[in-house]
């Protein structure tokens, strides 16, 4: 008999009928003999409806009161799901974040979980009840309601699983698992049976938006086996995300992530002296613009070129800041391009297999795709190319690394 934490997102509980389906699914699992703790989000659309009400009142609403407001969304879902479970003869009890003492810091709207008091939950499990917990929310040391930010329900589920030492944390989503790449771009994309936490982190942060990054980090830190499953199809195995040593047949490459939201800025002919990177990126950071890739090439003639990418929506803002910096520093010019995309190969096997990078570059070159920037980490290689090459690049790499086939090592 295992203890399973199951998390259902907003789409999965988006209507009374869907909540009833979730109840059926939870009960089936329960009937197999497992103990189940369920974490749910607000019904889809509800959080936006509440934020809309607040926006009618204020453009700069107090984060404390916003958390009081939006946390009602999950509270509605936990009550309805318990009613649906009880209606089909499955004992259940609901808890808000505050009730189950999901203690967080006081950073409203983006709080971090510090502790969970699981005494009541354990007592309910022992009494044979399904426990339904509101995701996304907690309470700080003053008793104020906090929220973990969008997608925080995943984190709640993982944190509950860690606190309860659960056997598995299952995240039900609208996809049936993690794929080698986006099937809308490459129809040959294959569902992965297993992937490591590290790979998942790279896949998630690079644009395969299946799981919240913080939840994956948390799961990795506490070694909570995480499974992504479809909430609409039954019987699938989904994708299990776990420690590297548990993944017996590690593939060289697990998947290909990409990001369409990138824009590139270059400041040319900057005097090459210490502190130059800070002088350029300081003002960008001060303007709350997040920088993704950064590339600086070796200097010649005492000047250097400095290139970085930002989210496409902040391209114009970044450009005007950079032009001011360029004037201050006496740089030659500022150039930019917001018609670029990033493609990344991800895989823990990369560590022990040479030649992955060269094979990647060769593949792209054969297709006539010019690489504008390169950045690497231990388990990923990212390239920036013209946006028109997205599909061609992803498909040719998917093919070159045989990702459509089940890996054989």
Give the binding site for a copy of itself (CB under 8 A). 16, 19-20, 50, 53-54, 56-58, 61-62, 64-66, 68-69, 71-72, 75-76, 78-80, 82-84, 86-87, 93-94, 96, 98-99, 120, 143-145
For helices 356-366 and 390-400, give the axis angle rounded to 10 degrees: 130
- Distance of closest approach, residue 74 Cβ to a copy of itself, in angstroms: 9
Integer Cα distance of 336 and 315 in angstroms: 8
Measured from the CB atom, the residue of 98 and 364 that comes closer to a copy of itself is 98
Q: Compute and round to an integer the Cα radius of gyration of the chain.
A: 24
- Distance of closest approach, residue 50 Cβ to a copy of itself, in angstroms: 7
Measured from the CB atom, the residue of 85 and 379 that comes closer to a copy of itself is 85
Integer Cα distance of 343 and 321 in angstroms: 27
DSSP state of 115: E
Decide: 155 and 163 in contact? Cβ < 8 Å.
no
For helices 213-222 and 197-205, give the axis angle rounded to 10 degrees: 170
Measured from the CB atom, the residue of 19 and 364 that comes closer to a copy of itself is 19
Measured from the CB atom, the residue of 117 and 246 that comes closer to a copy of itself is 117
Measured from the CB atom, the residue of 47 and 382 that comes closer to a copy of itself is 47
Measured from the CB atom, the residue of 96 and 407 that comes closer to a copy of itself is 96
Say how far residue 354 (Cα) sits from the centre of its chain.
29
- Distance of closest approach, residue 215 Cβ to a copy of itself, in angstroms: 25
Beta bridge partners of 138: 146
- Distance of closest approach, residue 140 Cβ to a copy of itself, in angstroms: 11
- Distance of closest approach, residue 75 Cβ to a copy of itself, in angstroms: 5
**What are the φ and ψ backbone dihedral angles of 168, each rounded to 5 degrees?**
-160, 145
- Distance of closest approach, residue 142 Cβ to a copy of itself, in angstroms: 8
Measured from the CB atom, the residue of 82 and 169 that comes closer to a copy of itself is 82
Question: Strands 226-230, 168-173: parallel, antiparallel or unpaired by DSSP?
Answer: parallel
- Distance of closest approach, residue 27 Cβ to a copy of itself, in angstroms: 14
Measured from the CB atom, the residue of 64 and 359 that comes closer to a copy of itself is 64
Decide: 92 and 130 in contact? Cβ < 8 Å.
yes
Integer Cα distance of 101 and 113 in angstroms: 10
Of 228, 200, 226, the C-alpha closest to 213 is: 200
- Distance of closest approach, residue 230 Cβ to a copy of itself, in angstroms: 23
Kindly state the tokens that stand for 292.
């993704």
* Beta-sheet strand order (sheet of 380-386): 255-259, 340-346, 380-386, 373-377
């Amino acid at each position: 008999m295992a203890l399973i934490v199951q998390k259902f997102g907003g789409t999965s509980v988006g209507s009374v009928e869907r909540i009833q389906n979730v109840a059926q699914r939870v009960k089936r699992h329960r009937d197999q003999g497992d103990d189940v703790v369920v974490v749910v989000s607000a019904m889809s659309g509800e959080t936006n409806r509440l934020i809309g009400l607040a926006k009618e009142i204020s453009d700069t609403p107090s984060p404390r009161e916003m958390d009081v407001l939006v946390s009602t969304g999950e509270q509605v879902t936990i009550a309805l799901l318990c009613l649906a479970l009880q209606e089909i003869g499955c004992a259940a009890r609901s808890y808000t974040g505050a009730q189950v003492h999901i203690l967080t810091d006081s950073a409203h709207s983006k709080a971090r979980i510090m502790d969970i008091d699981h005494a009541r939950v354990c007592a309910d499990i022992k009494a044979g009840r399904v426990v339904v917990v509101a995701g996304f929310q907690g309470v700080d040391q003053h008793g104020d309601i906090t929220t973990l930010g969008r997608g925080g329900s995943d984190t709640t589920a993982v944190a509950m699983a860690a606190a309860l030492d659960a056997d598995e944390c299952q995240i039900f989503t609208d996809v049936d698992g993690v794929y080698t790449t986006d099937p809308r771009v490459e129809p040959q994309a294959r569902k992965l049976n297993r992937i490591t936490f590290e790979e998942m982190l790279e896949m998630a942060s690079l644009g395969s938006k299946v799981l919240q990054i913080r939840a994956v980090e948390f799961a990795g830190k506490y070694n909570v086996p995480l499974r992504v499953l479809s909430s609409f199809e039954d019987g699938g195995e989904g994708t299990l995300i776990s420690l590297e040593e548990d993944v017996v047949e590690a593939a060289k490459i697990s998947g290909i992530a990409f990001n369409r939201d990138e824009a590139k800025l270059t400041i040319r002919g900057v005097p090459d002296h210490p502190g130059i990177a800070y002088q350029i990126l300081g003002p960008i950071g001060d303007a709350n613009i997040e920088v993704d890739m950064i590339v600086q090439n070796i200097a010649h003639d005492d000047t250097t070129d400095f290139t970085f990418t930002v989210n496409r929506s902040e391209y114009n803002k970044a450009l005007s800041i950079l032009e001011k910096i360029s004037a201050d520093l006496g740089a030659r010019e500022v150039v930019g391009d917001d018609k670029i995309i990033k493609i990344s190969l991800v895989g823990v096997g990369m560590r022990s297999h040479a030649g992955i990078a060269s094979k990647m570059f060769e593949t792209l070159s054969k297709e006539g795709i010019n690489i504008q920037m390169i950045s690497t980490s231990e388990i990923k290689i990212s390239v920036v190319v013209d946006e028109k090459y997205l599909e061609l690049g992803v498909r040719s790499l998917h093919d070159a690394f045989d990702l459509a086939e089940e890996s054989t090592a």
